[in-house]
A = this chain, B = another copy of it.
Amino acid sequence: MSLKNFFEPGSVAVIGASREPGKLGHEILRNIVEAGFRGKLYPINPKADEILGLKCHPSIKDVPENVDLAVVTVPARFVPGVISDCGEKGVGAAIVISGGFKETGGAGMELERQLVEVAQGAGIRVVGPNCQGVNSAYAGLCASWPLIRAKGPISVISQSGTILAALGCWAEDEGIGVSKLVALGNKSDVDETELLEYLTDDATTKVIALYIEGVRDGRKFMEVARTAVGKKPVAVLKGGRTAKGAEAVLSHTRSLTGTDAVFDAAFKQAGIIRAAGVEELYDLCKGFALLPPPDGKNIVIITSSGGCGILATDACEEAGLNVVELPAWVKDALKEKLPPECILRNPLDLTGSATSQMYDEALAALGAAEGVHSILVIVGDPMPGIAEVITKHFKQGKTLVPVMLGGGEIEAVERAKLRSNGIPVYQSQTRAARVVAAMVRYRPTSGL
**Which of B248, B249, B307, B340 has a CB less than 8 Å from the CB of A213?**
B307
Q: Mark A162-181, 1 if CB is under 8 A from B, else 0.
A: 11011001101100000000
The answer to whether A314 and B240 have CB atoms under 8 Å apart is yes
User: A343 CA to B249 CA in the complex, in Å?
Assistant: 12
Residues of B within 8 A of A317 (CB): 242-245
A244-B317, A323-B244, A428-B277 known; A308 and B173 CB under 8 Å?
no
User: A253: CB under 8 A from chain B?
Assistant: yes
- Choose from B169, B172, B313 the contact partner of A244 (Cβ within 8 Å): B313
Residue of B304, B318, B428 touching A279 (CB-CB under 8 A): B428
- Cβ–Cβ < 8 Å partners of A353 in chain B: 99
A305 touches B406 (CB 8 A): no
Query: Are B251 and A343 in touch, CB under 8 angstroms?
Result: yes
Taking a contact as CB atoms under 8 Å apart, the answer to whether A169 and B430 are in contact is: no
A335 to chain B, nearest CB (A): 14
A316-346 to B contact mask, C-beta < 8 Å, 1/0: 0110000100000000000000001101010
Q: Is A132 close to B, CB under 8 A?
A: yes
Q: Can you name 22 A-B pairs with beta carbons within 8 Å?
A: A99-B341, A104-B340, A162-B304, A162-B380, A163-B305, A163-B307, A173-B407, A239-B310, A240-B310, A244-B313, A244-B314, A245-B311, A248-B306, A251-B306, A251-B343, A251-B349, A252-B306, A252-B343, A253-B306, A277-B311, A277-B430, A278-B405
Tell me the complex Cα distance, A343–B145, Å. 23
Q: How far apart sit A159 and B305, CA to CA, in the bound complex (Å)?
A: 10
Given A104-B340, A314-B239 in contact, is the A408-B169 Cβ separation under 8 Å? yes
A305 proximity list for chain B (CB < 8 A): 160-163
